[in-house]
Structure 1
Amino acid sequence: MRSNGTVAVVREPTARGGARAVFTPAAVGDYVEYPFTVGRAGEYDAVLRYYRPVDGGVVTVTIDGEESYRSTVDTAAESADGYDILFLGPVRLRPGRHRIRFTPVSSGRRGGRLISLDELSLVEGPRPDIRDEVTVDNAELGFEIVFGSWSAGTGVSGYYGSNYLSRPAGTGGNVVRWRPALPGGDRYEVLVSDTAASNRPRTRPISCTTPKGPITCSSTRNCAAHLRRAAANGSRSAPSPSPPASTVTCNSATTPTGTSSPTP
């Protein structure tokens, strides 16, 4: 079942059963819904296999109208199209018919809105050990230079990924931004990392944008943005309506002799 938009079937040998569905919404808020049947009552781990196209969008997932533990995913491909697995979390189901709904809520980080679905699996057994951590490096999807000219470097060891970016200190007008795709609304610990050197400032302003407004803090010696879910042991703590992709912003408003070096 769907609201508005179109559903196409793509047949290919790498899809489960030889085919996958592609939903193109007419507008944000349209949805596509599938029924499924459970034979006996119990707690299941819901696992979604989906396809990541370059023009994939951000989608929320509900089962019988309730958000799963991992309820939101940006389906845009990081670099090339391909299949991926999303652990939706544990769900307690009664015997009988149920429904899973996929609702596009915004464009993906590459600007697309497509959703491509392959298979839902319900697994009984030990829960997988999956950490809710999201890391965005300065060379990855989700990072952007908003203002200013930033130079890539590798001279100072200890950086994450292939390099880091730096520029002379300014008045705050030179800005970079990380836009992580979060798996659901919750409390998150935000960590930022850079390399330490004699020409680097000890602090720099950092702001996190949420639906409730920006939160500004100052990082100490550290500016790849890394977000870790604060909840432990698979339990959620004080859920809040976080967006599918919040933003972490760093600017160059530091001491005149320093160099601002964001390297998520």
Structure 2
Amino acid sequence: MIATAAKGFANRAAEYETGRPEYPEALLGDLPLAGARAVLDLGAGTGKFTRVLAAHVAARTGGPAPRLYAVEPVREMAARLAALDLPVGLLDGTAEAIPLADGAVDLVCCAQSFHWFDYEPAAAEIHRVLAPGGHLALIWNLRDERVPWVAALTQLFDHHAGGTRRYATGAWRQVLGDPRFRLVRQSRHEFHHRMPRSGVYDRVLSTSFIAAMAPAEQAAVRAQVDRLMADHPEILASGSVEFPYVCELHLLQRVG
């Protein structure tokens, strides 16, 4: 993870927790959890995906539940994950140096994180810790830009992004052509994240490159968000914000 992103996420871990959505339950049905011995949530952040995964595993019947692990290198985010007191082994590591033995897990999940990794060392580590035939799940909650006000918000993000690593740049797609992995499934699930007006600010401020800005720059961004909401009164038409998302999954299998 680049230093600017780590700084931003450290500065705005609280806003990340309140402004970012969790993950739809339907996604869990697309993951190869049956028979898995161990699952790793890599780049777990504040535990947005970890808690959904843990709840799903706990509710399953028939067969032993897999052991769950999580790795999150940003201390402030890892502290929030630890405070959830989930039945998850929280490990001190990074995507490029995963503190697990060779073949230790059957599934590695990267929820909203894979685009931050240094690709080659991370791909090698993921391949190493996956058991033969194991799977890599790349998961993103994407803003649904078919909605006009969400498209306008994306334009605001794009204006400030610079050269930041993001899903939108597409650099992460090199894994789809990596001979160490083969694509076995893709899926998309639409959902809404309900939040108060303040949640829109938290969603914006939790974005790494905005979270790393100086306070005066963040205030200017907040003013831009105010103007956007004034231009799109439908955002608060119901009294709260229904932020539309599409959860996207790319499931790959370890080769070799």
Higher relative contact order (CA 8 A, sep 6+): 2
Q: Whose radius of gyration is greater, 1 or 2?
A: 1
Judging by fraction of residues, say which structure has more strand. 1
- TM bracket, shorter-chain basis: under 0.3
TM-score relative to the length of structure 2: 0.24
Judging by fraction of residues, say which structure has more helix. 2
